Amino acid sequence: MFRTSIIFAAFSGLIAVILGAFGTHALKNQLAPGLIDVWHTAVLYQFIHTLALLIVANLGDKLHPSWTRYSLYLFMFGIILFSGSLYCLVLIGLGKLGMVTPIGGLCFILAWLCLAIAALKK
């Protein structure tokens, strides 16, 4: 699980750098200011939670195993659902994807909660 999380985090970090640069250089003059802000929010949350994923994966042996695993999965799902839905919203303008974003946000919230429980139960 920890190896999978580190691999996911490596690719997530790679993608976040690429999409951050793409937003700054290619999309900046193509989108309304509000949409570029949405793009930057997606990149920021992807970076923050990618780093969290790496940290949790490396601390995993010091925490309760099951709760750590839940936290890792929720961070991964959160990155995909929250940031992914915002990227799609900006690129293809599909407003219905906006309903997915809060689910990703909830995954982030639950991931942090599971991390706290993993530390408390150890």
Please tell me the distance from the alpha carbon of residue 78 to that of residue 27, in angstroms, as a whole number: 24
Which band of pLDDT confidence, cut at 50, 70 and 90, is reported for residue 36? very high
Give the length of the chain: 122
Give the phi and the psi of residue 63 in degrees, each rounded to 5: -120, 165
Show the CA angle centred on residue 110, arms to residues 106 and 115, nearest 5°.
150
Taking the CA atoms of 84, 87, 13 and 58 in sequence, report the sign of the dihedral they define: negative
pLDDT of residue 86: 96
Please tell me the distance from the alpha carbon of residue 18 to that of residue 47, in angstroms, as a whole number: 11
**Are the C-beta atoms of 82 and 19 separated by less than 8 Å?**
no
pLDDT in tens, 51-110: 999 999 999 889 999 999 999 999 999 999 999 999 999 999 877 778 999 999 999 999
**Are the C-beta atoms of 104 and 85 separated by less than 8 Å?**
yes
**Are the C-beta atoms of 101 and 38 separated by less than 8 Å?**
no
pLDDT of residue 119: 96
For the segment 22-33, the average pLDDT, to the nearest whole number, is: 87
Predicted confidence (pLDDT) at residue 31 exceeds the cutoff of 90: no
